[in-house]
Amino acid sequence: MNRLLTYLIISAFILCSCRAHLRTEANNQQQGYADSQVVGVWKITGVSSDVPNDWNGDGSMETDIYNTWSACQRDNLYSFLADKTGTFKITCTGTYNGTWTIVNTQYLEYTPTTLNLESEKMVSMTNIEFKSERAITLSSGQPATITKTWTRQ
């Protein structure tokens, strides 16, 4: 009987001491994104700025950049393949092959062949949409943040 009681006490002690290691800590810190979440075909369906600017040169200040785009510019398509290659229809004149990656689980970087590297911080994601942000400096010297909405096709 004493031996059984000793085993029960030791077992209870071990379970209680290990319990802290089994808990998952919840916090508000961004956990990051995986390559598999980005693989697929995406279209930019929204672009906005946190600072009003004359984005299309018509003399009016706006924050909705997407509405200043032509139909041709809105006809974009980004195909991110699992092997870190892709095709990017980002200009009115054609589609580019290129590469892409997720850096530090937070930054989407893609490089269309013959064009510059694009790097954007991913700020939210569902299975059908994600948002990315990029800091820029306007011609006036004022800092601004550009937010893109990407929709899965």
pTM: 0.78
What is residue 94's predicted lDDT score, i.e. its pLDDT?
A: 86
Please state, in angstroms and rounded to a whole number, the distance separating the CA atoms of residues 4 and 128: 56
* 23 has a pLDDT exceeding 80: no
DSSP-derived letter for residue 67 is G
- Identify the CATH number of the domain defined by range 39-152: 2.40.128.540
Alpha helix positions (H), the chain: 2-22, 35-38, 71-74
Residue 112 pLDDT level (bands cut at 50, 70, 90) = very high
How is the chain split into domains, by residue range?
39-152
C-alpha R_g of the chain: 24
Q: Tell me whether residue 39 is exposed, middle or buried, using C-beta atoms within 10 angstroms of its C-beta: 0 to 12, 13 to 18, 19 or more.
A: middle
Residue matched to tokens 């990407």: 150
Q: What is the pLDDT of residues 57-104, one digit of tens each?
A: 999 999 999 999 999 999 999 999 999 999 999 888 889 999 999 999
Tokens of 79: 């195909």
Given a contact cutoff of 8 angstroms between Cβ atoms, the answer to whether 144 and 50 are in contact is yes
